[in-house]
Structure 1
Amino acid sequence: MKKTTSPEEERSPSHGHDTSAAAQRVRLLERLRLGPVDTITARRELNIMAPAPRVKELREAGYPIHTHLIRLNDDQGRPHRRVAQYYLGTVQQLSQE
């Protein structure tokens, strides 16, 4: 059964229908607080087609986001050797990089 959303939820920045950069940053930050997220997942689950610019903007805003490159298969099973995986660190970790 498909979950219905209220008009208020659809206007919420965290709802996937809002494709503004600000809404994408909100969704990405909320997801990063739960754990690491990779580029493929950000595209599929968060409706963020280009997560790297959103990560850059969040870093510029002071969030300590780190990147690891991982190997990952996409939804069609195709292997990708360099997929960015982002995670929140600490401010101290950011200053050491």
Structure 2
Amino acid sequence: MDKKKADQQASPKHSSVENTTTQAQRARLLDALELGPITTIDARSRLNIMMPAARVKELRSLGHPIVTHLRDLYDDQGRRHSRVAVYYLAGRGQEVA
């Protein structure tokens, strides 16, 4: 008798940055947002999410109250980027000015 493995859902606590499925990316992003605001730059470099805006849209459609602010920021190379998205979960006291 063949035993089938249970569906392996990408858990925020166990989603490796090498896992690039959209489900794993959403899990990593949501886990990061639980800890505080995250920028597009950080999502790409630290979380290996190349299209953070798409993952945010998907999370919003699942009912997560993610708010976006646009700011001018510098990347880790010291280059200035204008209108970088800063995402945070609404109602968590994480609002950015």
- Report the TM-score range of the alignment, normalised by the length of the smaller protein: 0.7 to 0.9
Alpha-carbon distance in structure 2 between the residues aligned to 1:44 and 1:81: 17
Number of residue equivalences: 80
1:14 deviation in Å? Answer: 1.4
User: Share of identical aligned residues, percent?
Assistant: 60
1:13-70: CA deviation from partner (whole Å, max 9, x where unpaired): 5110100000000000000000000000000110001100000000000000000001
- Structure 1 unaligned spans of 5+: 1-10, 91-97
Which residue pairs with 1:19 in the alignment?
20
Write the mapping of 1:25-64 to structure 2, written as runs, cut at 5 A.
25-64=26-65
Structure with the higher helix share, 1 or 2: 1
Alpha-carbon distance in structure 1 between the residues aligned to 2:23 and 2:81: 28
RMSD between superposed Cα atoms in Å: 1.4
